[in-house]
Amino acid sequence: MVRATDRQPSMLGSLDWWTIGIYLALLIFGWISVCGASYTYGDTDIFSLDTRSGMQIVWIGTSICLGFVLLTLDDHFYDTFAFFIYVGMLLLLFATIFNPHEIKGSRSWLVLGPLRLQPAEFAKFATALAVAKLMSTYGFTMNNWKHFGSACLVIILPMIFIVAQKETGSALVYFSFFLMFYREGMSGSFLFTGVAMVIYFVVGVRFEQVMLWDTPTSLGRFIVLILVQVFTAGMVRSYINDRGRTTRLVALGILLTGLCLLVSKFITAFDVTIVQLILTGALVCWLIYRWLSARIRNYFYIAIFAVGSVLFFYSVDYVLNDVMEPHQRVRINVLLGLEEDLAGAGYNVHQSEIAIGSGGLRGKGFLNGTQTKLKFVPEQDTDFIFCTVGEEEGFLGSAAVLLLFLALILRLIKLAERQPFKFGRIYGYCVLSVFLFHLFINVGMVLGLTPVIGIPLPFFSYGGSSLWGFTILLFIFLRIDASRNKSRMQ
- The Cβ-side half-sphere exposure at 477, using a 13 Å CA radius, reads 35
DSSP 119-139: HHHHHHHHHHHHHHHHHTSTT
Contacts of 75 (CB under 8 A, 6+ apart): 479, 480, 482, 483, 486
Mean pLDDT of 456-474: 94
The CA-CA-CA angle for residues 152, 157, 162, to 5°, reads: 130
Domain ranges of the chain: 11-186+400-488, 208-324
Using the predicted structure, report yes or no on whether residue 4 has a pLDDT greater than 60.
Answer: no
Give the single-character DSSP code of 364. Answer: S
pLDDT tens sequence across 304-333: 999 999 999 999 878 887 777 776 777 777
What pLDDT shows up at residue 71?
94
Look at the chain and count its residues: 490
Nearest to 383 by CA among 359, 407, 352, 404: 352
pLDDT tens sequence across 69-127: 999 999 899 999 999 999 999 999 998 888 767 776 677 888 776 777 889 999 999 99
Question: Reduced to 3 states, what is the DSSP secondary structure of residue 111?
Answer: strand
Q: Band of the pLDDT at 428, cuts 50, 70, 90?
A: very high
DSSP 335-354: HTTS---TTTTTHHHHHHHH
d(CA 337, CA 478): 43
If residue 211 lies in a helix (H) or strand (E), which one and from where to where?
none
Using the predicted structure, report yes or no on whether residue 140 has a pLDDT greater than 70.
Answer: yes
- Selected residue with higher pLDDT from 331 and 425: 425
What pLDDT shows up at residue 9?
63
Mean pLDDT of 472-482: 96
Using the predicted structure, report yes or no on whether residue 5 has a pLDDT greater than 60.
Answer: no
Using the predicted structure, report yes or no on whether residue 487 has a pLDDT greater than 60.
Answer: no
pLDDT tens sequence across 253-309: 889 999 999 999 899 999 999 999 999 999 999 999 989 998 888 899 999 999 999
pLDDT tens sequence across 103-112: 766 778 887 7
pLDDT tens sequence across 355-404: 898 889 999 988 888 787 777 788 888 889 999 999 999 999 999 999 99
Contacts of 129 (CB under 8 A, 6+ apart): 78, 82, 85, 86, 427, 476
Using the predicted structure, report yes or no on whether residue 215 has a pLDDT greater than 90.
Answer: no
pLDDT tens sequence across 18-51: 999 999 999 999 999 999 888 776 666 787 888 8
Contacts of 252 (CB under 8 A, 6+ apart): none
Q: How far, in whole angstroms, is CA 396 from its chain's centroid?
A: 26
**pLDDT, the chain, mean:** 87
Answer for the pair 165, 97: CB distance below 8 angstroms, yes or no. yes
